[in-house]
Structure 1
Amino acid sequence: MKRRDFFKNTAFAAAGAAVLSPIQSVANVSRRDISDRLAGKLAKNIIFMVSDGMSSGTLSMANMLSERRDGRLCEWISLYQRGVVNRGLMDTASANSLVTDSAAASSSWGGGVRVNNGALNIAPDGSRPVPILQKFKAAGKAVGCVTSVPITHATPAGFCVNIGSRSAQAEIALMYHDLRFDVMMGGGTEFFSAEKRKDKQDVFGKFAASGYQVAKNRKEMLAIDSKGGDAPILGVFHQDGLPYALDRENDETMKNSTPSLAEMTGTAIRHLQKSRNGFVLQVEAGKVDWAAHANDTGGVLYDQLAFDETLATVLAFAEADGDTLVIVTTDHGNANPGLFGATKDFEKVFGFRHTNDWVLQGIDRDFTAAQVRERIEHAQGYAISANEAIQLLAHYVTDRNEDGLYNPYKLPFADLAAIQQKYTAIAWASTGHSGDHVEVAAFGPGQELLKPFVRNTDMHNLLLEASGVAVR
């Protein structure tokens, strides 16, 4: 497959043949036309899209990649260029820190109040605000979440449950069962499989016995999508997070066994739109955040492009439907990557086949420096020096003390990123979240409610007001 064709067909195939391309449908529509058409109209449906941990540099570089490689702006930036959205900056603080984590950030949207980092809709005073998907479910709408990380992870859970710790993912899986949401799809098989759970409960079987259509791989998801039944859907396709988009695209086994974010989202929309009262769907590109923690250039940029292709799917549906409010945002910045050098160096990223995660997972203490250099050149198209390879290998022959989230094998992500900067001109400020204000955009009925500057908690009432559901 040519590099410029990467992801090109995925999103629109997932959207369904009846849905128009947003380039066809939105490009020639002015903001005034949209405002006049939507004035005073309630949103029947809401799709809330989160590129988790997306710093402004991530969005900027993904757009540069798209524009220079494919000759077009990414979907998100194209919305700005065409002037068809309301755009704002959002303050992302939690109750106890200017730098939020994903649990507190999602809870600010989900519950409408700020909570301490690590908590899910449990306020500092002990109160338990009703999560927004429970509110919409009670109002008669179909609801669901789609993510590229475990479906029990912080961002989807923040729209769904009240619990003191985001780490209680096995318990969250059981809470989802009792809440009976209409579509839940992502990773995290270890929280549903009897073989993996500490309590040995067969949570997959529990969902199936309760009438859910259960999918454990891409083929089963597509079969459910094709069948088109009304029963709710649970799709859990991989242990922990799903594969990075770049690695998946270049591995046929991964492509056949795990769906893309766009495919999951298309399936979810087609299922949820059967609801006569409309639906609310949260979509998360969770591995953008994981890649940022790892300073993984291929991971963060190509998962951001996968999110952007999913946005194309969503916009195509929303424009054809006319009753759908789309919110596009992130919960916080992470690692603040940026381009600090020559264009020709940045363009090496166009030819990447694999992420830093793929590179480092495949090295062991028996590798030679030559083998390390060969692996990186195969994966990313440039040759590091012998001394740099020896530097990386040193992490495999001593006790590893690397830290960072989502790094259970203590791999030298930061070290590889520092070496990589010389070849790609991309540098990172840290391996953790930042307190930056972040982008938020609104398209569709209710978009006028988004002001130029908002607190993260403002989004809770905005969603309720846009859809005409009582704010309480």
Structure 2
Amino acid sequence: MKRRSFFKQASLAVAGATMLSPFDLLASEKRRSILANNAGSAKNIIFMVSDGMSIGTLTMADLLLQRKEGRRSKWLSLYDEGKATRALMDTASANALVTDSAAASSAWGGGKRVNNGALNVNPDGSFNKPILQKFKSAGKAVGCVTSVPITHATPAGFCVNIASRGDQSEIAVEYLNLDFDVLLGGGTEFFSADKRKDKADVFGQFSQKGYHVVQNRNDLLQSSTTKPLLGVFHEDGLPYVLDIQFDNRLKAEIPSLSEMTKQAINRLKQNKNGFVLQVEGGSVDWAAHANDASALLHEQIAFDEALSEVISFAEEDGETLVIITTDHGNANPGLFSSNDKFDKIQHFKQTNDKVLNSINRNFSSKQVIDYIESAQGIAIKDEEAKEILKHYNQLDSEGLYNPNNLPFKTFAEIQSNYTGISFGSTNHSSDFVELAMFGPGSEDLKHFVKNTDLHNFMLQTAGLIEKS
């Protein structure tokens, strides 16, 4: 299913102001001299983004791990052990209190707030140079890893200037021209000649440019640490990790976020000048939009496993700043019932996404009940099954939640009776969000920041601009 069409956020129409980045006033040669002669406290930076993570998502993933495995999430254990500096972050865009991922990532990537939907392009049409281009020019290795298309808004916000986040085919070509060192995620349709409208073989172009191009898990795990690396493993986003766990074919083909992250670090750390890597758990956001509790919590845990990989490296390395955050809240989920209900999530074998795509209009209500019980271990009522089936009579129409009109919200509301998990919305929120840092430079984090503040914070910590 083309999930990405379900998750596009419309731009809002409130005008706002942007902030100037002092970095843009510095000449290229001066930047290089600052890097060489006035190095900052961190040689490397790893920027971890659990896209669309509300505080309820972080909380419930931690609770699920405690109850199922007897351990805390890595993120919460950093707080428990006093290893991370913690803050709140204001996530607004230039034209809205509720940001989308493009504007949010551009705030970090370009140092200015842009309108929703834009990637480092100001309301007046001018560009803000993306931060990975700045670090690449200064001699560092750079890369992005994500569980959604590598051309999607969050990685792209660190990399390119594009007026519309929807131009993912163009973003793929832009990546080719940037000579970045690692790009890993989904989105084969933006690289493959047989899927692109212009029939350009972008995979082939990357290969001709010297990239090691991989499209499955095994090839990634055996990839070279000397060549630049492009890995694209699935059309659209990668399948949800819960659905991968119970599908041997997918387990063999699709790498985990932690595996991609480890391979990226192994490649990037070869650079003597250090590296900057963005890692995104992009499917956290997609599951939140769908009010898909089992997908949401397992995607957050997958992000946490990647975080564990990063912290292990950073602890051994001693020269790496790890930034851990989200670009915005989404759906504001929470647990509102008993432990017994919540514990049922432990036994789910399929996400709501897979369940609803497996049901069709020819199912009887009993077949729906039996399928859901087999896939998720909960037995819904006959009237609830019939409510779900109503939506399958309109599958060819433009739906409220996605082009197939699958009843994500309806199913989530029914499901809450059995899991105790409820959602406040299917959209992004204006909430201030969690921001944590680990490693050199983290001591400089203020307790409340704007998203744009992180741009210069990274440059300062790496020594590319002097600290004020």
Please report the TM-score for the alignment, with normalisation by the length of structure 2.
0.90
Say whether 1:397 aligns with 2:420: no
Q: Distance in 2 between matches of 1:259 and 1:274?
A: 22
User: Which residue is equivalent to 1:270?
Assistant: 266
Q: Give the residue type in structure 2 aligned to 1:450.
A: L
The one-letter code sitting in structure 1 at the alignment partner of 2:460 is: E
Offset from partner CA, 1:276-331 (integer Å, 9 cap, x none): 00000000000000000000001100000000011001000000111100000000
Stretches of structure 1 that go unaligned for 5 or more consecutive residues are: 1-39
Instruction: Identify the residue that residue 51 of structure 2 maps to in structure 1.
Output: 52
**2:207 alignment partner AA:** A
- 1:408 CA displacement: 3.5
- Structure 1 residue 41 displacement after superposition: 6.2
Give how far 1:174 is off: 0.2
1:91 aligns with 2:90: yes
Q: Tell whether the 8 Å contact from 2:398 to 2:404 is kept in structure 1 after alignment.
A: no
1:411 alignment counterpart: 406
Q: Could you tell me which residue of structure 2 aligns to residue 373 of structure 1?
A: 369
Moved more, 215-224 or 261-270: 215-224
Distance in 1 separating the partners of 2:124 and 2:306: 38
What is the match of residue 17 of structure 1? none
* Aligned ranges 1:257-336 → 2 under 5 Å: 257-336=253-332
Tell me the residue number matched to 1:446: 441
**1:271 Cα shift?**
0.6
Q: Counterpart in 2 of 1:16?
A: none
Which whole-Å CA distance do the structure 1 matches of 2:281 and 2:454 have between them?
19
Give the Cα separation in 2 of the matches to 1:246 and 1:274: 33
1:67 corresponds to 2:66: yes
CA contact (8 A) 1:41 1:445 kept: no
Preserved contact between residue 61 and residue 338 of structure 1 (Cα < 8 Å):
yes
Distance 1:468 1:159 in 2: 18
* Structure 2 residue identity aligned to 1:140: G
Contact 1:187 1:239 in 2 (8 A): yes
Asked whether the 8 Å contact 2:40–2:460 carries over to 1, the reply is no
- 1:461·1:471 contact (CA, 8 Å) conserved in 2? no
* 2:443 counterpart of 1:458: no
User: Which residue of the partner structure matches residue 116 of structure 1?
Assistant: 115
CA gap of 1:361–1:426, structure 2 versus 1, over 3 A, is same
Matching residue of 1:210? 209
2:6 matched to which residue of 1? none
Deviation of 1:471 after TM superposition, in Å, equals 6.7
Instruction: Please tell me whether residue 388 in structure 1 is matched to residue 374 in structure 2.
Output: no
Over the aligned positions, Cα root-mean-square deviation in angstroms equals: 1.2
Residue 332 of structure 1 contacts residue 434 of structure 1 at CA under 8 Å; is this kept in 2? Answer: yes
1:241 matched to 2:237? The reply is yes
Amino acid at match of 1:403: L
Hey, what does 2:128 align to over in structure 1?
A: 129
Contact map agreement 2:52 2:327 (CA 8 A) in 1 = yes
Moved more, 365-374 or 194-203: 365-374
Q: Which residue of 2 aligns with 1:187?
A: 186
- Output the amino acid matched with 2:310: V
In structure 1, the residue corresponding to 2:169 is in which secondary structure? helix
Residue deviations 1:203-229, cap 9 Å, x none? 0000001100000111211221xxx34
Asked whether the 8 Å contact 1:262–1:313 carries over to 2, the reply is yes
SS at match of 2:255: coil
User: What is the SS of the residue equivalent to 1:281?
Assistant: strand
CA contact (8 A) 2:40 2:463 kept: no
One-letter identity of the residue aligned with 2:417? K
Task: Give the conservation status (yes or no) of the 8 Å contact 2:100–2:117.
Answer: yes
Moved over 6 A (4+): none
What is the DSSP-based 3-state SS (H/G/I as helix, E as strand, rest coil) of the residue aligned with 1:144? strand
For residues 394 and 77 of structure 1, the distance between their equivalents in structure 2, rounded to whole angstroms, comes to 41
SS of the residue corresponding to residue 334 of structure 1 reads coil
Q: Contact between 2:356 and 2:407, CA under 8 Å: does it hold in 1?
A: yes
Provide the secondary structure at the position in 2 that maps to 1:69. helix
TM-superposed deviation, 1:362:
0.5
Q: Write the deviation string for residues 416-468 of structure 1: whole angstroms up to 9, x where unpaired.
A: 00000000010000100000000000000100121100000000011111110
Q: What is the SS of the residue equivalent to 2:172?
A: helix
| CA–CA distance in structure 2, aligned partners of residues 82 and 253 of structure 1 | 39
- Aligned-partner Cα distance in 2 for 1:229–1:209: 18
Q: State the shift of 1:401 in Å.
A: 5.1
Letter in 2 for 1:433: H
Asked if 1 retains the 8 angstrom alpha-carbon contact of 2:225 and 2:266, the reply is no
> 1:120-168 deviations in whole A, cap 9, x for unaligned?
0001232211100000000100000000000000000000000100000
Q: SS of the counterpart of 1:327?
A: strand
- Cα distance, 1:255 vs structure 2: 0.7
Distance 2:391 2:398 in 1: 9
Other-structure match for 1:434: 429
2:164 alignment partner in structure 1: 165
CA–CA separation in structure 2 for the residues paired with 1:230 and 1:48: 22
Mapped contact 2:92–2:98 kept (Cα < 8 A): yes
2:235 aligned partner, one-letter code: Q
Identity of aligned pairs, percent? 61
Aligned length in residues: 428
- Taking the aligned partners of 1:201 and 1:379, their CA distance within structure 2 comes to 40
